[in-house]
A and B are shown apart, each in its own frame.
Chain A
């Protein structure tokens, strides 16, 4: 039995909004980063599903998903490097301690 396209889209939408929710509410920088990754992955699902179900003859969506995965890996690498640097500076990666600059 073929799974319908709508189910995939429901999953990816839930992932996107779970990511947005996590981005806003998480208190740890790494958790925030994971939430953002969730959002990026939901986009990859979208691209692949659209390509597979709606435009099966082409490769555009697949390629976009591949590139998006590569780019998000680069983003994660840089973000983790920066988070490590923060840890070295203040021995902590809680968001509420990133408050040196206000007003």
Chain B
């Protein structure tokens, strides 16, 4: 066997190295050296992030099982930066009494899910895709149940693992039918053999249902709110951004690579999913009082917007999708960063607890406001531009009705995002959250997020850089 094929995995190998180093360090480090565990973990992973920034030439390894395209470097770098930000925000939580002894596990589990997403995105064969998907979702359940003394966290873990297995069983059933009708599972060979027979369309429906569970599109979103609420806040942030972004990206590559022959069918399917996701999630978000649940529904509707890039199915759609993931990442992580900072100090996550936050913690309130403005798509923040590009991509393919529905929903979403802003800035209360200083890790991560929200939209070079890799798929 030719082991040199492993050298093509330029992003995966360093990540595995980081994982192993952190695991050994956590096992064998002395009590004194372990005090710097978090710093070492962030630095190591930061080095890995920098290493992965530079794209190399397209290649295939293991007979087409593993595929590399320059576009993958872009999306992997985005996910790396997001993971690094989550690590920084998790600092205070991991230093707590009950979690300090297990913090090594947190890093190891998180990095395993990231590794699974890498493999899932680089897959050229349904087997590697499936293994990557499971590597991404099994440790995620353990992460959701990480606060094992809290009942909510345990519940979240159970709900996540059972729905995740259910979804992957449905997906697998679809894949098995695709195998039965075509005789191959290589993406490249499949494209020519998919001819739109009824059995293949059924198989495809099963496959997409399984993926829609992972991306949490309506009507497959029922686990989302509970898991987001119950899981530790840093895990929720990771789940809402990294997991969702990678799954949307994979869905797009597979739809484009494997199923172009039945594009008419899947575009109608996606059309219905998008309309339902955006509308239903928006309406449910209005009545949420818990901020984590609120952001869960907001993330479902954002996933609907992400799918607008998928449905346009061309280079512009791909660029808009990746750009949307990037902007959504900084905005959502800023919001979750504020929520987790407040939760760690006071344990409060309800919307009415945020009344009068501006009087006591003005900086946090402003960051939260910018994040929510960006999520709602108010110019000149990055969220406006990402929505603009993704609408432009969908309109370019003639989906004017869909874009109109999405636009109307943007207005609804403005209402509930502003409810939070109103609570922080206008509502008065006798017992506001007392002023506090966040730790430096959270401050840096919030600064990075804020800079992203303000600058990503204005600096047109970002979008242009991504579009250079355009249709690397």
Which residues of chain A are near B61, meaning CB under 8 Å? none
**How far in angstroms is the closest Cβ of chain B from A32?**
6
**Is A63 a contact partner of B127 (Cβ separation < 8 A)?**
yes
**Is B154 a contact partner of A89 (Cβ separation < 8 A)?**
yes
**Is B176 a contact partner of A98 (Cβ separation < 8 A)?**
no
Cα A19 to Cα B167 in complex, Å, equals 12
Which residues of chain B are near A40, meaning CB under 8 Å? 165, 169, 172
Chain B 225-248 per-residue mask, 1 if CB under 8 angstroms from chain A, else 0: 110011000000000000000000
**Is B226 a contact partner of A39 (Cβ separation < 8 A)?**
no
B348 within 8 A of A: no
**How far in angstroms is the closest Cβ of chain A from B150?**
8
Identify the closest chain B residue to A29 (Cβ): B158
Interface residues on B, range: 35 or more
Chain A 15-42 per-residue mask, 1 if CB under 8 angstroms from chain B, else 0: 0100100010000010011001001101
8 Å CB contact of A85 from B148, B225, B230 = B148
Complex interface residues of chain A between 26 and 74 (CB less than 8 A to chain B)? 29, 32-33, 36, 39-40, 42-43, 46-47, 50-51, 54-55, 58, 60-61, 63-64, 67-68, 71-72, 74
Which residues of chain B are near A82, meaning CB under 8 Å? 141-142, 145, 154, 157-158, 161
**Is A101 a contact partner of B152 (Cβ separation < 8 A)?**
yes
Q: Which of A40, A68, A72, A101 is most buried by chain B, counting CB atoms within 10 A of its CB?
A: A101
Cα A20 to Cα B150 in complex, Å, equals 30
Cα A51 to Cα B254 in complex, Å, equals 23
**How far in angstroms is the closest Cβ of chain B from A54?**
6
Identify the closest chain B residue to A35 (Cβ): B166
**Is B145 a contact partner of A19 (Cβ separation < 8 A)?**
no
Complex interface residues of chain B between 138 and 161 (CB less than 8 A to chain A)? 138, 141-142, 145, 148-152, 154-159, 161
**Is B173 a contact partner of A46 (Cβ separation < 8 A)?**
yes
**Is A101 a contact partner of B230 (Cβ separation < 8 A)?**
yes
**Is B161 a contact partner of A90 (Cβ separation < 8 A)?**
no
8 Å CB contact of B155 from A23, A32, A100 = A100
Which residues of chain B are near A47, meaning CB under 8 Å? 176, 179
8 Å CB contact of B176 from A33, A43, A63, A72 = A43
Which residues of chain B are near A19, meaning CB under 8 Å? 169
Cα A95 to Cα B154 in complex, Å, equals 13
Instruction: Describe B's contact surface by its main secondary structure.
Output: helix
**Is A89 a contact partner of B149 (Cβ separation < 8 A)?**
yes
8 Å CB contact of B161 from A16, A23, A75 = A75
**Is B165 a contact partner of A61 (Cβ separation < 8 A)?**
no
Identify the closest chain A residue to B145 (Cβ): A82
8 Å CB contact of A90 from B145, B151, B159 = B151
Which residues of chain A are near B176, meaning CB under 8 Å? 43, 46-47, 50, 64
Which residues of chain A are near B126, meaning CB under 8 Å? 64
**Is B177 a contact partner of A46 (Cβ separation < 8 A)?**
yes
Q: Contacts A40-B169, A64-B127, A101-B230: A86 and B183 contacting too (C-beta < 8 A)?
A: no
Interface residues on A, range: 35 or more
**Is A79 a contact partner of B179 (Cβ separation < 8 A)?**
no
Q: Contacts A47-B179, A75-B138: A101 and B162 contacting too (C-beta < 8 A)?
A: no
Q: Contacts A36-B169, A89-B151, A98-B155: A78 and B127 contacting too (C-beta < 8 A)?
A: no
8 Å CB contact of A100 from B152, B170, B175, B179 = B152
**Is A100 a contact partner of B151 (Cβ separation < 8 A)?**
yes
**Is B145 a contact partner of A75 (Cβ separation < 8 A)?**
no
**Is A46 a contact partner of B158 (Cβ separation < 8 A)?**
no
**Is B142 a contact partner of A68 (Cβ separation < 8 A)?**
no
Chain B 113-157 per-residue mask, 1 if CB under 8 angstroms from chain A, else 0: 000000000000011001100100010011001001111101111
Which residues of chain A are near B293, meaning CB under 8 Å? 101
B219 within 8 A of A: no
**How far in angstroms is the closest Cβ of chain A from B395?**
36
B396 within 8 A of A: no
**Is B179 a contact partner of A68 (Cβ separation < 8 A)?**
no
Identify the closest chain B residue to A83 (Cβ): B158
**Is B162 a contact partner of A98 (Cβ separation < 8 A)?**
no
**How far in angstroms is the closest Cβ of chain A from B220?**
13
**How far in angstroms is the closest Cβ of chain B from A79?**
5
Cα A15 to Cα B142 in complex, Å, equals 28
B185 within 8 A of A: yes
B184 within 8 A of A: yes
Cα A98 to Cα B153 in complex, Å, equals 11
**Is B162 a contact partner of A85 (Cβ separation < 8 A)?**
no
Cα A55 to Cα B189 in complex, Å, equals 15
Q: Which of A23, A68, A83 is most buried by chain B, counting CB atoms within 10 A of its CB?
A: A68
* Contacts A46-B176, A61-B179, A85-B157 supplied; 4 other A-B pairs, CB < 8 Å: A32-B162, A67-B130, A89-B154, A98-B158
Lowest 9 A-B CB distances belong to which pairs?
A39-B169, A46-B176, A50-B180, A43-B172, A82-B157, A79-B161, A71-B134, A55-B183, A86-B154
